[in-house]
Amino acid sequence: MCKGLAALPHSCLERAKEIKTKLGTLLQKPDSTIDFIIPYPEKPEKPPKAQKPSPEEALQWRDSLEKLLQNPYGLASFRSFLRSEFSEENAEFWVACENYKKTKSPVKMAEKAKKIYEEFIQTEAPKEVNIDHFTKAVTMKNLVEPSPTSFDMAQKRIFALMEKDSLPRFVRSEFYHELIK
């Protein structure tokens, strides 16, 4: 093991500088406060009528957040419910991670990773999700070299939070009871 910076090979120093530069880019604050303005629609978004599930299908959502999130109508209904509770950022983050995983281009992946980080992960982000410090640190480390799995730990934590906390409230809500009539 090296005893100090002077003892590090030149390639190690270059790699350390490269990592520092990448992290610095990810950690930059937005240039203006205009980035913090979050538009809220006047009235809740209505789920698409053409894709309304049968009551039987909607009943399955009680026991499976995954099925709920995979159904476009279910996702829209759940997001409307979360918006009414001021916690829509959780579903938005989950959707952003799902879209991120489909990205093929490394350049686009890096751009999307930075956007997701700035919007949902960084401290005081406009739509900051509630994750612990360890998960945040692992996610930041993963973003040094973005890959399709960079946000997996954070996404799993948010999924678990929605499953344990938001889904039971959604199932008790008027939003849901309208669907299963």
pLDDT of residue 175: 82
Residue 27, Cβ neighbours under 10 Å: how many? Answer: 13
Q: Which helix (H) or strand (E) holds 174?
A: helix 174-179
Instruction: List the domain boundaries for the chain.
Output: 55-178
Q: What is the pTM of this model?
A: 0.71
Structure tokens at 6: 């002077």
Fold of 55-178: Regulator of G-protein Signalling 4; domain 2 (1.10.167)
pLDDT of residue 105: 94
pLDDT of residue 16: 58
pLDDT of residue 10: 55
Report whether 57 contacts 179 (CB < 8 A): no
Task: Write the pLDDT tens digit of every residue in 102-116.
Answer: 999 999 999 999 999
pLDDT of residue 34: 40
Give me the residues of the chain with pLDDT under 50, please: 1-5, 8, 29-48, 50
Query: For the chain, what is the mean pLDDT?
Result: 82
**Minimal CA–CA distance to 167: which of 100, 102, 75, 101?**
75
Task: Write the pLDDT tens digit of every residue in 68-82.
Answer: 999 999 999 999 999
pLDDT of residue 47: 47
Cα–Cα distance between 160 and 156 in angstroms, integer? 6
